């Protein structure tokens, strides 16, 4: 049985190219995830892994559709191989039914992880530069009159109002409210 795995990171992305690949390879069953590939916690990936049986072949358009880091990729492929299921990636022309395909899978998996790590590093560097230049200041602080805050907290501590009512009066989220309570020692 040919099992095709399709993944798009967001609802806005189009999986048409992957569906075309599935049609060309006469997929018997297609599993579709609309989720980031950064981890293995994807419902249709789990369903596909549970569904695949010995003698089946799992196909995807490219390696990044099934995993975005080497560890996850090798874990998924290992799980498939233990079940006697082959894996094919069309873009990279990888077929784990051959030793060369297994080797290339490891190489391309490492490259996919390198790409992801480089993107993460560049984003971190960009945020650091923006912060140093004063363009990135984080979330703006809620400006609450300390006197008013203490008065509302006194009512709350006395049991005259609930914490939710105090948060509503101060226009604060629960986390901000309790953080401010802790900071001011009210």
CA gap 90, 107 in Å, rounded: 15
| Residue 127 host element (H or E) | helix 99-132
Active site residue 9: yes
Q: Which long-range contacts (CB under 8 A, 24 or more apart) does 18-24 make?
A: 18/60, 18/61, 18/65, 21/59, 21/61, 21/90, 22/59
Cβ–Cβ under 8 Å, residues 69 and 120: no
**Token digits of residue 58:** 């799992």
CA gap 39, 61 in Å, rounded: 18
3-state secondary structure 54-94: CCCEEEECCHHHHCCCHHHHHHHHHHHHHCCCEEEECCCCE
Please identify which of the residues 9, 36, 89, 175 carries the catalytic annotation. 9
Angle at 106 between CA 23 and CA 30, to 5 degrees: 20
* Nearest alpha carbon to residue 73 among 161, 149, 5, 13: 5
What residues are labeled active site?
9
């Amino acid at each position: 049985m040919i099992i095709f795995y399709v993944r798009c990171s967001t609802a806005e992305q189009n999986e048409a190219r992957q569906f075309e690949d599935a049609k060309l390879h006469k997929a018997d069953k297609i599993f579709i995830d609309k989720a980031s590939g950064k981890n293995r916690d994807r419902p249709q990936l789990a369903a596909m892994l549970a569904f695949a049986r010995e003698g089946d072949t799992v196909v995807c358009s490219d390696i990044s559709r099934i995993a975005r880091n080497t560890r996850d990729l090798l874990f998924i492929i290992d799980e498939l191989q233990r079940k006697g299921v082959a894996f094919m990636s069309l873009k990279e022309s990888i077929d784990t039914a051959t030793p060369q395909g297994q080797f290339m899978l490891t190489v391309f998996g490492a490259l996919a992880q390198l790409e992801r790590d480089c993107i993460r590093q560049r984003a971190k560097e960009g945020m650091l530069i923006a912060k140093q230049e004063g363009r990135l200041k984080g979330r703006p602080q809620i400006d609450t009159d300390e006197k008013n805050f203490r008065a509302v907290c006194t009512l709350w501590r006395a049991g005259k109002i609930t914490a939710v009512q105090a948060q509503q009066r101060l226009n604060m989220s629960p986390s901000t409210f309790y953080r401010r309570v802790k900071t001011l020692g009210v």
